[in-house]
Structure 1
Amino acid sequence: MITAKDVEFHTPGDADHRHAETNWFCFYVPAEKLMGIIYTVARRGVGVQSCDVSLYGALVDNRAETLYLDTQMALPCPAKLSDYTTANGLSVKALNAPRDYRVDYKGYDGVEIHFDFKGLMEPFDIHDPKHSPMAKSSTEEQHAGAGMGSGYGGHFDLTGHFSGQLIYGGREYEIDCVETMDHSWGNRAEIFVPTMGWSHAHFGKDLAIKWINHWDPSKPVDQQQSLAHGYVMEDGQVYGLTDLKLYTHRIGSVIHSVEFLATDKRGRKFHAYGMAEVGGPWICYAGSLVYAAQCRWTLDNGRVGYGLASEITSLQALTRQHGRRWTQSSGHITS
């Protein structure tokens, strides 16, 4: 069970450079095809925090085509996580912890982000069997089944309502969406990050489907992914997922469509198709590759929603498979 104290640090006495504590917020303005990501990683054991603020306005395959990128990797670590301000202009404050937050950011080129996040449910603890039917008892099993390994030694997901403003390019855009934030803590090295997915579909304040999935890109599309943890939030009540069928179609690493069939502990099934509308590469760690896309989801009954589809893998795993070397240099052509 997640309590108010879980918005603070969980730093063990022997914490080193691997121990990390993260906050993630993501918002979307569907009519304008604008997505924003705010992410911080605190490593209190070595006294540093990274902060990433990114904006996307199209479906792109390289970071140069993102709208805005403020990624700084070695900022001073704050004294607490319930109320902190980073050196690059981001402020996060927990209100009515652990459900509500106030986030403010002032960056370069006049970009500003201001929103209130109000949780629509009790935070979902992936290691609490009362929350997740996939929860495991031992620490070793928890790490193996979490999706992010020991990086999800502690982890909660929380679906809520974002309301506020984005200022970009001299214009002000209203933020009014349902999305999911999360908070994680545990040992998370910056290389060999586990390959996984973290995604969700929101159909209003009354209905959302959220999942974390294992991912093996070496398998066929219909066999690559399986459920780690997830839930259906319906009318404020949360029902853990027991099964997930998930097909993700990509061009290279670019997600362009997703289909899922999620089954919750009541036996209720939710089947939806998602088309990516905006997204791009997101490098939360220098040694990883993430693709994040906001999708327009359609349930079988025709109801339309929005939500993130994201996948992460380590660049170390990719270079093992795809690393290239030319064995001939220039100047070896003879007549």
Structure 2
Amino acid sequence: MVTDQDTEFHNPPDADHRYAETNWFCFYIPQEKIMGIIYTVSRRGVGVQSCDVSLYGALVDNRVETLYLDAQMALPCPPSLREYTTANGLSVKAHSIRDYTVSYRGYDDTEIDFDFKGLMEPFDIHDKNHSPMAKDTVDAQHAGAGMGSGYGGHFDLTGHFKGRLKFRGVEYPIDCVETMDHSWGIRAEIFVPTMGWSHCHFGPDFAIKWINHWDPTKPVDQQQSLAHGYVMDKGEVYGLTDLKLVTHRLGSVIHAVEVTATDKRGKVWTAHGAAECGGPWVCYVASNLYVAQCRWTLNDGRVGYGLASEINSMQALTRQHGRRWMKSSGHLTV
């Protein structure tokens, strides 16, 4: 179980450059088809923090068509995660493990202000009372987490975002249900595990959230399997026991997602997501990551929204797809 203390840093005194602590917030304005992502990665062992503030206004396949991008990789690491301000204008305050205030002052007359109120108890992927997929040993936890040791500690939290976005001087209200997370552990910048992190929300009373393993070398309908996840039903959380997932892509671009999730009560939920906006998201320079905000239809007819995302390491991809113009001679001549 996570507590209010887990809003703070967790890194041990001997943490090196690989140890990372992350904060993720995402909001969506359906009527405008605008998605916003706010993400920080703190590496306190070497005193640096990256901060990414991105806006998407269409479904795109390259970064130049991102609506707004302020990604800075080597900012000073703050002394505390409970309340901090980054050098590029982001401020985050954790009032508790469930409630946050976030503001941002960027370029081109762009501002973000919202309060996030958790609608449930934070979901600890390593707590068996939360996740039926939780493991007993550290090695097994890392193997089953999805993000490996980068999820040495991790919680997901579905909640209500309320505030405003000002983009190039025009203001838009933020009023949506989405999911934030917080992770800590050893997370090197290369060979990031291949995985997915996604969810769908149908108002404040119901959501499905999952982390999945992903093997892109397999047929599309066999690529993905459950790591952890939950159904939030009227404020109560029920861990997932099974997940069937098919993602339709053109290259890396997510177009649609079919999900069937079974929770620990034995209830089965199916939903279809159609991507409305999204694009490449480079939170780590040596990774290939795509994010898409989907319009979801639940099997009972309810309509909602939520993020679908997938990450793969560039090292794994270049091993498979790297090109060279000339065939190797097998020896070097001087």
Q: TM-score, normalised by structure 2?
A: 0.97
SS of match in other structure, 1:142 = helix
Question: Does residue 1:108 correspond to 2:107, yes or no?
Answer: yes
**Residue equivalent to 2:247:** 248
Letter of the 2:137 counterpart: S
Deviation at 1:326, TM superposition (A): 1.0
Q: How far off its partner does 1:301 sit?
A: 1.4
Instruction: Show the 5 A alignment for 1:37-116.
Output: 37-95=37-95, 97-116=96-115
1:332 aligns with none
Secondary structure of 2:11's aligned partner: coil
1:159 is matched with 158
Matching residue's letter, 2:320: Q
**Equivalent in the alignment of 1:333:** none
Structure 1, unpaired ranges of 5+? 329-335
Q: C-alpha separation between the residues in 2 aligned to 1:214 and 1:25?
A: 22
* Residue number in structure 1 paired with 2:33: 33
CA distance in 1, matches of 2:246, 2:13: 42
Q: Which residue pairs with 1:297 in the alignment?
A: 296
Question: In structure 1, how many angstroms separate the alpha carbons of the residues matched to 2:192 and 2:93?
Answer: 28
Aligned to 2:310: 311
TM-score normalised per structure 1 = 0.97
Which amino acid in 1 is paired with 2:214?
A: W
Could you tell me how far apart the structure 1 residues matched to 2:200 and 2:302 are?
11
Displacement of 1:327 in angstroms is 1.8
For 1:95-244, list aligned pairs within 5 A.
95=95, 97-244=96-243
Q: Residue 191 of structure 2 aligns to a residue in which SS?
A: coil
Superposed displacement of residue 14, structure 1: 1.3
Secondary structure of 2:17's match? coil
Q: Name the amino acid aligned to 2:152.
A: G
Distance 1:134 1:296 in 2: 28
Which whole-Å CA distance do the structure 1 matches of 2:300 and 2:84 have between them?
43
Q: Does residue 14 of structure 1 match 2:19?
A: no
Residues 262-296 of structure 1 deviation map (CA, whole Å, 9 limit, x = unaligned): 00000011101000000000000010011000000
Superposed structure 1 runs of 4+ greater than 4 Å apart: none
Residue segments in structure 2 that go unaligned for 5+ positions in a row: 328-334
Query: Secondary structure, in 3 states, of the residue corresponding to 2:259?
Result: strand
Give me the CA root mean square deviation.
0.6
What is the one-letter code of the residue matched to 1:312? Answer: I
Structure 1 partner of 2:274:
275
Deviation at 1:169, TM superposition (A): 2.2
Share of identical aligned residues, percent? 78
